[in-house]
Structure 1
């Protein structure tokens, strides 16, 4: 089992990493400062209030849950410093936005060249993965499935 990441915005392009490689890639991204940890409960509250403005939690019905979930899949922070960890670690249809991807790639470029080279030498898929992130950042982002 692995992870499929699909370009958002109607493109059929999908990047697939097997489970083992995906775990190594995420660990490498984390070590290079490309991952951001966010409070998922704060994000859920923000998604709820965007999807159902002015409605208390006690007044939602089952049909509202879908709107809240879609809002949660797309919500992020105003100034990301990388790709949120939860969007990579779970396959829940998260939207990884171009801003999050751009922030992750900026962190990668700011890492010491020796560290970047060591990661590229250790992970066969690394250069292709970075190229895919560049493509996704130039489009509407990625969907984690």
Structure 2
């Protein structure tokens, strides 16, 4: 499995993407948890096709951007987007389910990123060394997060 973190808004400051594979994600995810950059938050409930009077087969191959979709399908896609874009009202960091779990096009909001960076920046040197020691690419990841905080956050694809 792999994850592409993609800035919501383009940046002229460097790459607009950061890539993880299964090997590189685990130590980053663990370091972020140890530094309280991620927070345990329950994943929102995904809409079910049946909630909209549909079957999964009815929507499996449809294009969300098609303007001629039936109303029930448009409502299903809107509910699906709300789940992907949901954020706690006052996030304490990045919800842990958005990092290193699925790559369901989660939106990690600028506020979630700023809170994660505040946790990182406020950690004492020893805590940082213990959590991050030997994590490949950590400084690049932090740089990406700092850019994402100012460019609409990022999507986890």
User: Shorter-chain TM-score category?
Assistant: 0.7 to 0.9
Unaligned runs of 5+ in 2: 54-70
Unaligned runs of 5+ in 1: 49-56
Spell out structure 1 runs of 4+ moving beyond 4 A: 57-60
Instruction: Give secondary structure in 1 for the equivalent of 2:91.
Output: coil
1:103 aligned onto 2:115: yes
> What does residue 3 of structure 1 align with?
3
> What does residue 93 of structure 2 align with?
82
* CA-atom RMSD in angstroms: 2.1
TM-score (norm 1): 0.82
More helix by proportion, 1 or 2? 1
TM-score (norm 2): 0.76
Tell me how many residue pairs correspond in the alignment.
133
> What does residue 115 of structure 1 align with?
127
1:20 aligned onto 2:18: no
1:34 aligned onto 2:37: yes
Q: Quick check: 1:120–1:127 contact (8 Å CA) kept in 2?
A: no
Choose the corresponding residue for 1:71, options 77, 82, 102: 82
State the 1:65 CA deviation. Answer: 1.1
Instruction: Give secondary structure in 2 for the equivalent of 1:124.
Output: coil
